[in-house]
A and B are shown apart, each in its own frame.
Chain A
Amino acid sequence: MKESASPDGSYPRLTAADEHALEWLLDHRLDPAGTPIEIAPRVQQLARVLSMAGEADVPRDDALADAVLDRLAVITSKSFVLSDADEDAVDAAVMTGMDASRVPSVLRDRAKRVTSLVALLDGPEIGHDAALTDRVLAAIESTEAPIETEKPVLARLSGRLADMVSIAAVLLISASVVWPVMSTVRTNAMRNANQANLAVAGVGLGAYAADFADHLPRVRTPEQQRRWWDVNPHMPRSNASNLFSLVRLQYTPEQALKSPGNEHAPTGPLPADAVDWQDIRQVSYSYLLPIAGRNEASSVGVVLADRSPIMLRLLAGEVPDISENSPNHDGRGQHMLRGDGSVIWSTEPRTQYGDHIYLPRSVEQAVEFRRWQMGMPAWHTPELRHYADVFLGP
């Protein structure tokens, strides 16, 4: 009934079906009578758990009970909520690692208040207690579960020729392993930097939206942006110029819009009068295009992501591969900034609803139709039509 908890006992949560059943039960004041038949078993089980399992045949379900009680505690007790501005300030403080000085000026005072408040949690200094370490080690010693240690390589080897060959092989393998390890470190560093950039841009977008009636930055109307891919430093007509306005208006530092995975991203400061990047290759991140006048993002909708490979291919006269990931991560995947400020990593250029983030819905449908005509399997699960189309571009 519950989702599997991790072995270390991480916090329990309900499955979507149980959540739905719980919502129904709470809406009906914990009375399971009249439960729709499709959720009746779950509702019955929840009701029995809520009555604290006085019946012997109900297995104890700590996770389920905790989740239910947690929900009930919220709805039956007095709760305190923050103003929207304070919520934004908390989000910004979290995104900047509780460094209020990095929060956009519009939220900085409130973010400072947040960090001062939580700094109360520091508590008094605690001196190091050697006896505590000894007690912990003694407790571990007394357990009957020894750690599975790796045997030293050399201890396993005797002086036989075969072992010498093994040692040589190990050395050769080690040499071939070092480079991938270094490469992994570099990849992770780049991924972290891009994630941080999107988070900072998210704070800037949030601050901008707070100042402009929940609207995302748009310097031109969709009609004026017919050539939305045409990046020009003196003419704000590309979609990138919309995002660039965050830099112009000082909501976001320009460094946050330069990906370390984009070899063409400018390294020095941009001209003071620039209204866009010098050319499309300098654009590191792809931004939500204003389709049909839409200018708001849903909380789970993607607003910004690592740069699109599609437009780069098209402008280079190449045939794009619709399964290709962003070049910011050498095609491994891309980060996506969602409307709620969270940044997620995906190894496919699609949202959780199957929506291709770098293609408009019309193109996606045309691709699917063509595949169907050619007898090819569907490229992806059908996109949920009621969700607004996400289409990101430079």
Chain B
Amino acid sequence: MRQYVKGNRDALRQIIDRYQTDLMRFLIRLTGSRDAAEDAFQETFLQLHLSASRFDTSRRLRPWLFTIAANKARDGLRKKSRQPLLVLSKPVGESEGTEMVDLLEIDVPTPSDGMLSAEQQRLVDRAVSQLSHPLREVLLLAYFQRLSYAQIADELGIPLGTVKSRLHAAVASFAKFWQQVASGDNSEDQHR
């Protein structure tokens, strides 16, 4: 990054190449589609280009890049459809209830099982797609970036307690949705 700010144009290509696969995997999970991920990817590096001279080179580039990417993905989703998940006509207070999830009761393939099959990948896609964007964002940042609660809060500009409660909800929801799609139960598909 320092090289790019100094005027070395090739440095940007090296940065894009270095982070391409990790960032695209993160964005495809976050947006749910390769096209939207590519748009966000492009917007991310455009933002990096525009902000390069202001970047504090003592900071790590990777978390900064992933945070920009998460913001760009969110902007893209916002443009595409404005929070379609919420039914405003539903009276406030008529919650459908809260269900406790016990992770020890969720059947999850262990890492030793190796790469997931294409069918399993499709099921994971479906489970992830049922998460609301804020939950998906925190879950993916925590996983792909291994960021602490404080770092996620700092990067996203939201209170630490919100990060924590969102991650708890994200893990619970993802576990439940995974269980449902893996067992072929689609009845909860509408819940997000």
Contact = CB atoms under 8 A, between A and B. Distances in A.
A137 B12 contact: yes
Interface in A57-91: 62, 66, 69-70, 72-83, 86-87, 89-91
Interface of A: 5-13, 26, 29-30, 50, 52, 62, 66, 69-70, 72-83, 86-87, 89-91, 94-95, 97-98, 109-110, 113-114, 116-129, 132-133, 135-137, 139-140, 143, 145, 147-152, 184, 188, 199, 299, 340-344
Residues of B in contact with A, size category: 35 or more
B46 A123 contact: no
Which among A74, A77, A87, A129 has the greatest number of chain B C-beta atoms within 10 A? Answer: A77
Contact of A82 (B132, B139, B171, B188): B171
B20 A133 contact: yes
Contacts of A121: 29, 124, 128, 139-140, 143-144
B172 A81 contact: yes
B61 interface: no
Nearest to A87: B168
B28 interface: yes
A340 B140 contact: no
11 contacts: A10-B157, A13-B158, A52-B88, A72-B92, A79-B95, A79-B98, A120-B178, A123-B124, A124-B121, A126-B28, A128-B21
A341 B148 CA distance: 10
Contacts of B168: 81-82, 87, 90
Interface in B139-178: 139-140, 142-144, 146, 148-150, 155-162, 164, 167-169, 171-176, 178
A295 B148 CA distance: 27
Contacts of B41: 132, 136
A80 B99 contact: yes
A77 B72 CA distance: 26
Contact of A89 (B103, B127, B132): B103
Nearest to A145: B50
Given A76-B95, A148-B53, A98 B146 contact: yes
Contacts of B156: 10-11
Contacts of B83: 66, 69, 73
B12 A76 contact: no
B49 A150 contact: no
Interface in B117-147: 118, 120-121, 124, 127-128, 132, 134, 139-140, 142-144, 146
